[in-house]
């Protein structure tokens, strides 16, 4: 299916990823229509239309789908059944969405295509945490099965006495326990896949997290990441092919002494790919639009020897003047409201 420029792309979700998708789409001649429950999402400020409705509002989704030519989404914590009704008009499809939003399903799926994951156990209550400690040892991390991001819904257990408090802290009716991983570095593979199965991959950045939130992505990634990228890319491609994925897909990895280990999947454009806006010939956002609209994929070649992307979190965005004064620096502010602690308000990319 080819969706020609001049058509309307529906984007489910109104955050910064939807905003940057809409901006990339506009450069290719598309109109965008945002579907989100918020009254003034930051993506709507750069889009042609906005429907304010709950993500599971079947009637509103039907009207939205009728008004657009293709539908995509900017995050995965969405109800699958109502969106599955959009059928082939939604790209990526419902299978990609379902496989990434439940940690148990995700880990079983990754293992089924030959990817390694951390040792883990399902937990449905505090008694299961004790069983997981016996099976996996300490320390371990508890994670909610669903709706976790940026470190939310996670708690560490370093002593058996912490089990109950950790279970209460994740605030979920079901979760998983994961063994702690002795990793050397964190990195991600960001790829785009077309309906025909063509794949394009960007260079993988070294990612640094603080309090569960991505702080910085840097290229070149250096060792040991660069020694493991080939294997990681092969795993990511198998994941994308098995899902029949259309669009950008991101796989986060730990670089370990015995090779790459999959942390999680994001069936969408990703924070660790923001560097591609200035740092690659085709950004992840433009490439996603190309893929979901059936256009040829663009070059992913890096445009600078060194690239670094730093997130602006909370009131850090208030110091917007400083990066504007630096050569080789590009400022992106997301147009959000209150700069709450832990909230991503923008990012800065440095090219050398």
- Give pLDDT, residue 147: 75
- Under a CB-based contact definition with an 8 Å cutoff, are residues 22 and 45 in contact? no
Tell me the whole-structure pTM to 2 decimals: 0.96
> Would you state the pLDDT for residue 126?
85
Residues 6+ apart with CB under 8 A from 175: 103, 122, 123, 124, 142, 143, 144, 145, 153, 167
Domain ranges for the chain: 8-90, 119-179, 185-351
How confident is the model over 281-306, as pLDDT tens digits? 999 999 999 999 999 999 999 999 99
Q: pLDDT tens across 166-214, in order?
A: 999 998 888 999 999 999 999 999 999 999 999 999 999 999 999 889 9
What CATH number should be reported for the domain whose range is 119-179? Answer: 3.30.1490.20
pLDDT tens profile 50-62: 999 999 999 999 9
pLDDT of residue 291: 98
Query: pLDDT (tens digit, 9 = 90+) per residue, 38-52?
Result: 999 999 999 999 999
Per-residue tokens: 279: 């740092």
pLDDT attached to residue 150: 64
Q: How far apart are CA 157 and CA 127, in angstroms?
A: 14
Pairing of β 70-73 and β 344-351? unpaired
pLDDT for position 149: 67
Domain 8-90: CATH class, spelled out: alpha beta
- pLDDT confidence of residue 152: 76
Same fold, 8-90 and 119-179: no
Residues of the chain with pLDDT under 70: 148-151
Tally the C-alpha atoms within 13 A of residue 317's C-alpha that lie toward its C-beta: 21
Identify the CATH number of the domain defined by range 185-351: 3.30.470.20
């Amino acid at each position: 299916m080819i969706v020609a420029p001049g058509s309307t792309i529906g984007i489910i979700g109104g955050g910064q990823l939807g905003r940057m998708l809409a901006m990339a789409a506009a450069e290719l001649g598309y109109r965008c229509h945002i579907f989100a429950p918020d009254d003034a999402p930051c993506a709507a400020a750069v889009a042609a239309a906005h429907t304010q409705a709950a993500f599971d509002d079947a009637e509103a989704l039907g009207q939205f789908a009728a008004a657009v030519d293709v539908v995509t989404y900017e995050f995965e914590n969405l109800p699958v059944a109502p969106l599955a009704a959009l059928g082939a008009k939604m790209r990526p499809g419902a299978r990609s969405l379902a496989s990434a939003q439940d940690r148990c399903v995700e880990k079983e799926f990754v293992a089924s295509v030959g990817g390694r994951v951390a040792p883990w156990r399902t937990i449905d209550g505090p008694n299961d945490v004790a069983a997981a400690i016996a099976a996996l040892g300490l320390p371990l991390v508890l994670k909610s099965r669903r709706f976790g991001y940026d470190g939310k819904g996670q708690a560490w257990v370093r002593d058996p006495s912490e089990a109950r408090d950790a279970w209460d802290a994740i605030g979920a009716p079901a979760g998983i326990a994961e063994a702690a991983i002795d990793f050397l570095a964190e990195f991600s593979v960001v790829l785009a896949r077309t309906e025909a199965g063509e794949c394009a991959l960007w260079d993988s950045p070294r990612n640094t997290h603080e309090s569960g939130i991505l702080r910085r992505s840097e290229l070149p990634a250096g060792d040991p990441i660069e020694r493991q990228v080939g294997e990681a890319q092969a795993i990511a491609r198998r994941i994308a092919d098995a899902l029949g994925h259309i669009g950008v897909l991101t796989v986060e990895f730990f670089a370990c002494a015995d090779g790459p280990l999959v942390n999680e999947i994001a069936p969408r454009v990703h924070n660790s790919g923001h560097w591609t806006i200035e740092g690659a010939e085709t950004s992840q956002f433009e490439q996603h639009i190309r893929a979901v609209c059936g256009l040829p994929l663009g070059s992913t070649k890096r445009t600078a020897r060194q690239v670094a992307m730093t997130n602006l979190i909370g009131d850090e965005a208030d110091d917007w003047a400083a990066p504007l004064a630096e050569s080789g620096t590009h400022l992106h502010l997301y147009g959000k409201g209150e700069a709450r602690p832990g909230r991503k308000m923008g990012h800065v990319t440095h090219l050398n």
